[in-house]
Amino acid sequence: MSTISTNPPSGMRDFPPEELACRRYIEKIIRKVYESYGFVEIETPAIENLSTLLGKYGEEGDQLIFRILHRREKLARALDGKPSESDLADSALRYDLTVPFARFIANNPKLPRFFKRYQIQSVWRADRPGKGRFREFCQCDVDIIGSNSVIAEAEVCGAVARVLKEVGLTEFNIHLNHRQLLRRLICLAQIPEQFEESSLVALDKLDKVGIEGVTKELRERGIEEGSAKKLIELTNSNSNDNRSEIERLKSAFVGDQEALGAISQLSEMLDYCNGSPASGHLKLDCSLARGLGYYTGPIFEIRVMDLKGSLGGGGRYDNLVGMFKGSPIPAVGFSIGFERLVLVAQEKKLMPYLSVGPDVLLCRFPDVEISEVIKTAEFFRDKGLKVEIFPEPSKLGKQLSYAGEIKVKVAGILGSDELREHKITLKQLETGEQINIRVDEATEKILSWIKTGKK
Amino acid sequence: MSTISTNPPSGMRDFPPEELACRRYIEKIIRKVYESYGFVEIETPAIENLSTLLGKYGEEGDQLIFRILHRREKLARALDGKPSESDLADSALRYDLTVPFARFIANNPKLPRFFKRYQIQSVWRADRPGKGRFREFCQCDVDIIGSNSVIAEAEVCGAVARVLKEVGLTEFNIHLNHRQLLRRLICLAQIPEQFEESSLVALDKLDKVGIEGVTKELRERGIEEGSAKKLIELTNSNSNDNRSEIERLKSAFVGDQEALGAISQLSEMLDYCNGSPASGHLKLDCSLARGLGYYTGPIFEIRVMDLKGSLGGGGRYDNLVGMFKGSPIPAVGFSIGFERLVLVAQEKKLMPYLSVGPDVLLCRFPDVEISEVIKTAEFFRDKGLKVEIFPEPSKLGKQLSYAGEIKVKVAGILGSDELREHKITLKQLETGEQINIRVDEATEKILSWIKTGKK
């Protein structure tokens, strides 16, 4: 037995208590903020029918789906012949939260006219594992469906900005662009329509590979040098002022109703956000492309100074969530990259002191009745304290050294003489300070020691 | 597309907001109580190596494991030959929380001497779905490892009893027995040792099939009528008094050190629990068998009046969690049946009013600037309120009828004249009461309406 590896499978993680406490802390902020914007939570199952998932994530995505092997008769039947992959599975693990959400919407026809849902669940992708890239990871999505108003865009950006601020990030931007504007920019650069998708894919890498890299990729994808340069010139403005950027774009597109419509939506959105946590963090960025093909309007992406890549992104995608229902439903969504956010908060030392484990360890002299120890523990638990009881009849020194091992801040020591007077000895492990106090007055003392002892 | 079923796969569930709120409520209680006993949380991945899981749940269990189909080269290689089930998968979904916990322990050699962990995660079993039986369901485990002291038993029972009480259940018992005592009872009934396991399986059904049913099953399993009757007579005491039951057992086992040792452990445990939430809920029950073979000491099971089956159970299992480490580790665990507990709490109407969705819907007259609406929303969010903004420029009546649709308690109506005076009109939807109030004084009013409006 002991030869079996006890590591989690490749790309999967165990979370020990301290690590999990950090995750819970971030999750709690996200949950609270999302709810403060009126979003309601749903959950969907880990396993979906394969037919629900296939064809939604591109060919590459389909390859990364974890399929569930048939069992018993179904498997036997498949193995009887010469099976192919599709004969061996008809269900699979959730790959993202958007497609299950679209299924949920189709399956729940009585949702309110505007449905604001959030969803915080794991997804699974059979990607090559790497630093910061996992095969099971958590997504935190908010979506507003049912409205065409740019208020929806402003609200999801506000919610996400508030999350980042509450985590303690100050130096972040939400880059902002518009799919229709991008299309018109590509057209203005005289790139033929059939190169639109591949231009977006190339442009999306500006952040990572720079101007030269993108130019090179545009050329490789068959776009003429003049057009490639023109596209980069048009999209890569160095303006840090959203208003002057709006003006620049307006004058570039005089008479182009589609482009002007998109620009005016962006302008509206910037206005709306004046009173929102996103204010001062929105950055109009015509080079932002977002790889996914399904966006139809404004798109956004979180960038943090001195950090490559993004902490999340989203946009308007009016044709996706209605796919199972058979009719388009306007939708705007934003997804926070939970794993990265936890990592950034840890690296930037934004985590507060998180209490993991008990506040108090109850120790005892051998003459004390166990039921009295348990009674005392329950008394403190009633007061909201987290209490562990040392379970064995060891010497006091050993009990106290265990207190050190689990890093508890306070030990409560019970002796039978003291207990007769309803008293307990409290010891602050960090300082060694020790007092004898009535049990019913001890809670306050313990709380004060826990607070001052933060580190 | 619209011909694809939009139901979740068989045995799986979507959780809409109201249902999920109930689950979160119960989860929160469990989490809080477990932590108050000093348990720390861990998580393990959804996917485990198949070798970690196989052979741990019996032959029937192995059949119910969801295996993950190989991909790409590995799959191609398998399909090249004449593959069997074991060629097609080497990983699978978590089947319970105990085996992954055992792997976690072996993989983390620096855990504290006594490790008290809790874990609340989904498990997956390819069981035949049925009423109240799901293929994805949540388990809530607490375990104390490293101690042989019966204090560990008392503590897990105390924690679980406190959970049930905080949920609002009053009429529950934790049935209590001891594996060694059971073995000696079987021996005392002159049942040959090779029938021990099957006697336990039969006895375990006393709750469901009654005395006659168990007698019949014991006979069918090859046990003589006399022994069968004797075993039932010995185990099925009608005593409601634990102390007299202890005395009865003691006198039945005079001179039998193994039995007397077990009885004295039970007696100690009852003593210890005098000051615990389990006090008055523990019921010595010699017929309690608990199906699983791995228990080695005290065993427990939660029973609720007028409810068949159990709400959870556990016991001491000193040989299981050390299996990957290669050395036995003393362990006591208790697992709450989350799905059943949620169901019981709902059926017994123990759920409090759970606020789902926003506290306030902000509506507006057409002359109001959107940025002002958002500013007002953010003001209330800063105060801790949950605020939704009606996103479209509809007539006020339509906005208010949407407020009814999402069952929000308060609508805040913004007009530009009012806003100039920093005022807002609040409308309590239930009563129709309406007041005009300064924005910075509105939070208190809203809170009072939300509270009185509970239903």
Residue A375 has its nearest CB partner, among B37, B85, B275, at: B275
Q: Which of A69, A276, A384 sits opposite B68 (nearest CB)?
A: A69
> Residue B455: pLDDT above 80?
no
Test A40 with B48 for CB contact under 8 angstroms: no
User: In this structure, are residues B114 and A402 in contact, taking their beta carbons and an 8 Å threshold?
Assistant: yes
Class of CATH domain A360-452: alpha beta
Residue A337 is given by DSSP the state E
**What is the ipTM metric for this complex?**
0.95
pLDDT for A207 equals 79
Please state, rounded to an integer, the average pLDDT across all residues of chain A: 94
Whole-number Å distance between alpha carbons of B256 and B250: 9
Which of A7, A272, A324 has its CB closest to that of B4? A324
Among the partner-chain residues A113, A326, A387, the one whose CB lies closest to the CB of B405 is A113
Please tell me if residue A66 touches chain B, with a CB cutoff of 8 Å: yes
Taking only the tens place, the pLDDT of each residue in A286-295 is 999 886 678 9
Mean pLDDT score of chain B, rounded to an integer?
A: 94
Question: Taking CB atoms and an 8 Å limit, are A4 and B114 in contact across chains?
Answer: no
A25 in Cβ contact with A354 (< 8 Å): yes
Residues of chain B contacting residue A154, judged by C-beta atoms under 8 Å apart:
370, 374
For an interface test with A, the pick among B62, B370, B373, B390 (most A C-beta atoms closer than 10 Å) comes out as: B370
Cβ contact B40–A6 (<8 Å): no
Task: Provide the residue ranges of all domains of chain B, joining segments of one domain with +.
Answer: 17-46+94-347, 47-93, 360-452
Tell me the chain A residues in contact with residue B138 when contact means C-beta distances shorter than 8 Å: none
Chain A residues inside the 8 Å CB shell of B152: 391
CATH of the structural domain A17-46+94-347, one choice from 3.30.930.10, 3.30.750.24, 3.40.50.720, 3.30.70.1400: 3.30.930.10
Confidence of residue B451 (pLDDT cuts 50, 70, 90): confident
* B74 → chain A, closest CA residue: A85
pLDDT at B3: 59
Q: What are phi and psi of B223, to 5 degrees?
A: -95, 135
Joined together, the tokens standing for residue B300 give 């427990």
Closest CB to A107 among B7, B66, B390: B7
Q: State yes or no: pLDDT of B453 exceeds 60.
A: no
> Each residue of B215-258: pLDDT tens digit?
999 999 999 999 999 999 999 877 779 999 999 999 999 999 99
Q: Please answer yes or no on whether A151 and B370 come within 8 Å at the CB atom.
A: yes
CB atoms within 10 A of CB A160: 30
Considering only alpha carbons, which residue of chain B is nearest residue A69?
Answer: B69
Say how far apart CA B147 and CA A391 lie, in whole Å: 7
Q: What is the mean pLDDT of residues A425-437?
A: 97
Tokens in use for B429? Answer: 């939807």
Average pLDDT over residues A418-433: 96
| A 298-327 → B contacts, CB under 8 A | 323-326
Contacts of B158 in chain A (CB under 8 A): 374, 378
Phi, psi of B434, deg, nearest 5: -140, 135
- Contact between chains at B273 and A371 (C-beta distance less than 8 A): yes
Does B94 touch chain A if contact means CB atoms closer than 8 Å? no
Distance (Å, whole) CA B125 – CA B60: 11
Enumerate the residues of chain A whose CB falls inside 8 A of the CB of residue B72. Answer: 63
Q: Is A264 on the interface with B (CB under 8 A)?
A: no
Whether the pLDDT of residue B300 is over 90: the answer is yes
User: 10 Å Cβ neighbour count for B146?
Assistant: 19
Q: Indicate the pLDDT class of residue A455, thresholds 50, 70 and 90.
A: very low
| Residue B104 tokens, joined | 């976690």
Residues 360-379 of B with CB under 8 A from A: 361, 370-376, 378
pLDDT band at B305 (very low <50, low <70, confident <90, very high): confident
A220 to chain B, closest Cα gap in Å: 29
User: Which of chain A's residues have a Cβ under 8 Å away from the Cβ of B62?
Assistant: none
- Taking Cα atoms as reference points, which of B172, B191, B171 lies closest to residue B231? B191
Whether B2 has a pLDDT exceeding 90, the answer reads: no
- What is the predicted pLDDT for the residue at A329? 95
Q: pLDDT tens for residues A213-272?
A: 999 999 999 999 999 999 999 998 877 799 999 999 999 999 999 999 999 999 999 999
B204 confidence band (pLDDT: 50, 70, 90): confident
Q: What is the pLDDT of residue B1?
A: 43
Report pLDDT for B308.
78
Binning pLDDT at 50, 70 and 90, where does residue B343 land? very high
Residue B276 and residue A380 in contact, taking contact as beta carbons nearer than 8 Å: no
Q: Which residue has the higher pLDDT, B133 or A153?
A: A153
Across residues A101-128, what is the average pLDDT? Answer: 96
Chain A positions in Cβ-Cβ contact with residue B24 (cut-off 8 Å): 41
Å between A164 CA and nearest CA of chain B: 15
Rg (CA), chain B: 28
CB A326 to CB B2 under 8 A?
yes
The upper half-sphere exposure of residue B41, i.e. CA atoms within 13 Å in the direction of its Cβ, equals: 24
- Across the interface, which of A13, A40, A136 has its CB nearest the CB of B17? A40
Residues of A in contact with B366 (CB under 8 A): none
Tokens for B303, please give them: 């029973």
Per-residue pLDDT, averaged over A119-123, amounts to 98
**In chain A, which residues have their Cβ closer than 8 Å to the Cβ of B381?**
36-37, 162
Residue % of chain B over a pLDDT of 70: 98
